Amino acid sequence: MNIEDCDICTANPYCGWCGLANQCLPGHMKDTSCPGNCVNGWSFDREQCDGKVRAGRLSNIDPTGTE
């Protein structure tokens, strides 16, 4: 699956967003696990997405559920 959104990418604890390439890559807090693939613009936390966050949010709550 090709993730093309910083928000969705950084929601995965094993991925980070490379802003320079606009690409989701495997990695950790400090850098990608693929050396040389993201020289600049690494985001591991959703708060670092620099406005690349699209509307909506991830949730495991069924929208048809009741309280």
CA atoms lying within 13 Å on the CB side of residue 7: 9
Q: Establish if 67 belongs to a structural domain.
A: no
d(CA 55, CA 15): 20
pLDDT at 32: 83
pLDDT at 5: 87
pLDDT at 37: 81
Beta bridge partners of 32: 27
How many structural domains are present in the chain?
Answer: 1
Q: Establish if 35 belongs to a structural domain.
A: yes
Q: Which domain holds residue 25?
A: 6-48
Residue range 44-62, pLDDT digits in tens? 888 888 654 444 444 445 5
Helix residue spans in the chain (DSSP H): 6-10
pTM for this one? 0.65
Show the low-confidence residues of the chain (pLDDT under 70): 1, 50-67
Q: Establish if 21 belongs to a structural domain.
A: yes
pLDDT at 56: 41
- CATH assignment at residue 13: 3.30.1680
Q: Establish if 34 belongs to a structural domain.
A: yes
What is the layout of strands, in order, in the sheet containing 23-26? 23-26, 15-18, 42-43
